[in-house]
């Protein structure tokens, strides 16, 4: 991982200087190409096999991908195997990591400090602006890894973003990523990971819902069952 990041620095410099000579989607594809190679390379080196279904469910234009959050390998799995370029909502601590944070900025990721309510509100506004400007985003509304032990209740922040940006929500069910690292006693182990991309929920379907209602509705779609509203 470290070697590939060092190798990517010249490309990082080039990406920073890249002029806006194409559409938003075309430019995002160019910016994401190196990151996708890096992410897929990491997964391949763990010996993990990745399956994916429902790619045709992803509509054109900006979307908000909403996924459950099993482990640290969720991001490289999604980044490496979903063709549509996207940024993602990340904890602010990652901004301190050299090279990675710069790549994330280029990819239109948004950093959030969940301990600072004012900054968290600004991050939500930034997510809305990214989507309205034509970029797609991935969010993990559980807020923390569940390690494959069952989903935590979804938080509402991501769904405030969707309601304001009025973009399609694309639910994703991830299975198996925690078996690469979190569920191992030592090191990394090969696993079988499945990405199920579910049909999009367009604005006309969710308008009028509160953020809490929308969070529960999307979680029900991902789990395939009715969740405990008292959670």
Three-class secondary structure of residue 110 per DSSP: strand
- With 50 as the cut, is the pLDDT of residue 227 above it? no
The helix (run of H) or strand (run of E) holding residue 55 is none
161-188 mean pLDDT = 91
Res. 222: pLDDT tops 90 = yes
Question: CA dist 104 to 17, 71, 92, 110, 231, Å?
Answer: 15, 19, 11, 8, 33
Q: Is the pLDDT of residue 11 over 70?
A: no
pLDDT in tens, 46-88: 999 999 999 999 999 999 999 999 988 999 999 999 999 999 8
Q: Give the CATH H-level superfamily of domain 21-223.
A: Glycerol-3-phosphate (1)-acyltransferase (3.40.1130.10)
Q: What is the average per-residue pLDDT within 177-202? A: 91
The lowest-confidence range among 16-30, 166-180, 216-230 is 16-30
Residue boundaries of the structural domains of the chain: 21-223
The CA-CA-CA angle for residues 91, 94, 98, to 5°, reads: 165
CB-CB neighbours of 224 under 10 Å: 9
Give the pLDDT band (50/70/90) at residue 230: very low
């Amino acid at each position: 991982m470290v070697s590939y990041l060092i190798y990517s620095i010249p490309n990082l410099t080039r990406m920073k200087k890249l002029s806006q000579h194409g559409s938003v989607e075309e430019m995002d594809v160019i910016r994401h190409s190196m990151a996708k190679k890096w992410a897929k390379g990491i997964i391949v080196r763990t010996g993990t096999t990745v399956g994916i279904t429902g790619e045709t469910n992803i509509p054109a234009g900006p979307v908000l991908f909403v996924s459950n959050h099993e482990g640290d390998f969720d991001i490289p799995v999604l980044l490496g195997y979903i063709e549509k370029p996207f940024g993602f909502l990340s904890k602010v601590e990652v901004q301190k990591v050299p090279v990675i944070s710069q790549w994330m900025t280029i990819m239109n990721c948004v950093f959030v400090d969940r301990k600072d309510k004012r900054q968290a509100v600004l991050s939500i506004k930034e997510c809305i602006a990214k989507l309205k400007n034509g970029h797609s985003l991935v969010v993990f509304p559980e807020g923390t890894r569940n390690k494959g032990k069952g989903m935590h209740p979804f938080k509402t922040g991501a769904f405030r973003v969707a309601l304001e940006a009025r973009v399609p929500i694309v639910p994703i069910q991830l299975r198996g990523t925690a078996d690469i690292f979190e569920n191992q006693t030592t090191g990394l182990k090969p696993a079988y990971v499945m990405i199920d991309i579910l049909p999009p929920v367009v604005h006309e379907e969710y308008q009028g819902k509160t953020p809490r209602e929308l969070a529960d509705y999307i979680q029900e779609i991902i789990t395939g069952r009715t969740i405990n509203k008292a959670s």
